[in-house]
Amino acid sequence: MIEFDPTRPKWEQIRDTLRERITSGQLPARALISEVQLEAEFGVARGTVRKATAALREEGLIVTTPGMGSFVAELPKPEA
């Protein structure tokens, strides 16, 4: 569980944490993003998790397939 900053919405802090995990490779491409696990990890309601994942979906960091769930998107390789 993270220490939430009381001056910012929890969903933004969860989004930022997940974004860092994705961009650092801690959450690899095609990894399942489980709302149930995130609820338990962060101690928040499902709606809060859904708001965070919706923002990441808009950024192109996760993709959602109906009936299957949300997964980390294939990110383009940084050019050398």
Q: What is the pLDDT of residues 27-80, one digit of tens each?
A: 999 999 999 999 999 999 999 999 999 999 999 999 999 999 999 999 776 665
The CATH number linked to 59 is 1.10.10.10
How many domains in the chain?
A: 1
Residue 65, domain extent? 31-73
Domain assignment of residue 9, yes or no: no
Beta pairing partners, 63: 71
Domain assignment of residue 79, yes or no: no
Cα→Cα distances 11→30, 45, 54, 79, Å: 22, 10, 10, 31
Paired tokens of 38: 């995130």
Domain assignment of residue 44, yes or no: yes
- pTM for this prediction: 0.90
Amino acid letter, 44: V
Domain assignment of residue 57, yes or no: yes
Residue 1: pLDDT over 90: no
Domain assignment of residue 47, yes or no: yes
Domain assignment of residue 4, yes or no: no
Among residues 40, 61, 60, 39, the alpha carbon closest in space to that of 50 is found at 39
Domain assignment of residue 24, yes or no: no
**Cβ distance 69 to 37 under 8 Å?**
no
